[in-house]
Structure formats: structure tokens, C-alpha cells
Amino acid sequence: MAYELSPEQEALREEIRRMALEKVAPRASEIDRSGEYPWDMQRLLAEKGLLGLAIPEEYGGSGAPLLDNCIVAEELARVCATTSLIFVVQKLAAYPIVIAGSEEIKRKYLPAVASGEKLAAFCLTEPEAGSDAGATATTAVETDDGYVLNGKKCFITNGGLAEVHSVFAMTDPDKGIRGISTYLVEKSYPGFKVGKIEDKMGLRGAQVAEIIFEDCLVPKENMMGERGSGFITAMKTLDNSRPLVAAQALGIAQGAFDVAVDWARKRKQFGSPIGALQGIQFMLADMKTKVEAARQLVYRAATLCDKEDKDISIFSAMAKLYASDVAMSITTDAVQILGGYGYMKDQPLERMMRDAKVTQIYEGTNQVQRVVIARRLLGKL
């Protein structure tokens, strides 16, 4: 089944594409060079109402379907993956609040997240619990005053900048993954500390940091969902965010392909544009095929998520796996087509290539995605 966008979604794509070309693309190179968080891009997304696109209307958002969110992520990443990540992470961090937060929690925090007044962060990964969430070592001990958190999270996007955090901690260690609970933690809580700010290969403008909890007291009412339901909340969140990361990877791939096609038309060697060479033609044909195949898979995964279909997990994993592998392949080939120029920072491709790599890693490595897919196919053996 081919996934065609509605007229409204096509209009959304055109609007975001125009904004991305006019406002975002001119900043992309400098954002990467400086490695500083682009607050101007965050404000742009906030002013356009995009940071609340996925948040229900009753809490200050637009309540748009995941497919609409994927369109936005794709078009932003087509020119600047860092700006796309600002959009993606706000949705990722808000989702546990949407699906597990109490009505009080939702009304207290979601409007500020939707408006962009407050940045949000998703805190699952730890030094010894990356792909294995069951190894979560951050603890949450219940006391008369609330829950006391101790531990460390790592590779947290928006770490040190976010004021609202969806945090997963072990409440009952003897129960394994069934002992993990979810908490809403504010940056202002005593015992909340920011550790190392990471120096990254790509997505240079995104701030990624350690988050440290040292006897951090969290009010009891800030537990989101039932005690021990944190692993389920995390997996539901990832099922609904992986298509968004896939869309980001798709956007990177499309942007790199655009550059390669333009270069093949204009660059002359042996007296003709290099696009006249069959070797280049075959590369471009394969690249185009991969991009379009990825787009169809991403859109299908997003549509299934919107329908709450039973196959959400497998299609989300396939979309993230394939689109991110395509992004790495396309950016690599695009650099090759530009030759020495592609290797230089005067062109955007080396940045796109670096940005593409992390899409194969975060939101679950592609090796983990293959495990998810195989388990859905085979069941418990």
C-alpha cells in the first residue's frame, strides 16, 4: 500500500519546507561549527506552534497525528538535523506524561512543554543500562515525604537545559523490569545535578549530558502511572518515537540526495556533467530507490501508531532500522559523488554524514531493532 498524504498534510510539508529553507538552512553550518544550542531555532519552532504538535489540544498542543509530526521532523532534518532533534525530543519527553501522567501532572506541565516555555528531556539510558533497560541502577526509594532518587543517567538530550524530565528509576529491584517506575522530575528539585556535557561527533548543536540524582526528593504525586509500570511506559514511548527518529533519518537522506543530484547536473568532468556518466547514474538511481522505500515504511509505521494497531512495535522498529541505515548509505554515497568537495566543510554533506550516524544508535541501536523484529516474528522460542 502506497502512503499518500492528504491535501492538508501536503500543505504542512510545503509550509515546513519553506520555513526550513528560509530560516533554518542558513543557520545549519554555524550551528554545527559552534556546537552551541540554537535557542533561535527553538524559539522559531515554538512560535510556529510545532513543539506542541503531538500534545493533546486540552493541554495546549495541537493533537496532531504522528504522521504529521514525521513530516515536520523529515523536512527540518532535510536541512538541519540538530533543529529537527529539538522538535523530536520535545515530543519524546512529553509522551510519558501524556500516556501515564495524572490529570494534575498533565495540566501542570504539558502546556509549558507545548508552548516551548520549558524544554523537556527523556531520561532512560544509564552507563550500564543502554540497550538493556532492565539493568537500570537509578533507584527510587519511597519515604513519607516522597521518592528519593539516586543514580546517574547518561546521553540525555537537552540535559542541563530541560526543566521537565521523564525519569525511569528502579522502585523494586527484586522485580527486574517490573520494578521500574516513571517520575516527573523538575530541574529545580534539590539533589538534581548536571554532570558531563558530551562532545559529540554529530548533532553538534544539541546539548547531551549526564544527569545525576543525589538524594533527589520527588513528590509522591509525581510518579506517573502505576508503581512498576515504567518499563511498559518506556516501551510504548519508544514505539511511538522510533518512527519520528526514522523520519529524521529520512530527512537527512533526502537532503544529501538533493545535494548529490544538483552536483551531478552541474559538475563537469571529461567535458560533460558527471550525471552523464553511467556509474553516477546508477548510484543516483539506487539512492532514490532507497529514499522512497524508506519513506513508505516510515509513513506506514506512523499511520499504524496513529491507529494504535497491534503491529506498532515491529513496524516502528523496521522503520527506524531501515531509514537510519539508508541515511548512512545515502550520505556516504553523496560524499563520494562530490569527491574531494564532499569531504570538505564547505559542502553540507560531511555534516549530514556525521549526523546520520547517530540515527543508527539512539532510540535503540539497529542491532536491538533487529532483535525486536525477530521476536515479533518468532515469539518466545
- As a 3-state breakdown, the chain gives helix, strand, coil percent values, each rounded to 5, of 60, 15, 25
Closest CA to 203 of 122, 88, 44: 88
Choose the catalytic residue: 75, 126, 210, 363.
363
What are the grid coordinates assigned to 153, written together?
543517567
CB distance 182 to 168 below 8 Å: yes
Report the Cα 245 to chain-centroid distance in Å: 4
How many other C-beta atoms can be found within 10 angstroms of the C-beta atom of residue 170? 25
SS3 per-residue string spanning 340-376: HHHHCCCCCHHHHHHHHHHCCCCCCCHHHHHHHHHHH
DSSP string spanning 100-145?
HS-HHHHHHHHHHHHHTSS-EEEE--BTTBSS-GGG---EEEE-SS
Active site (annotated) includes residue 363 = yes
Chain position carrying cell 513508505: 296
**Which residues participate in catalysis according to the annotation?**
363
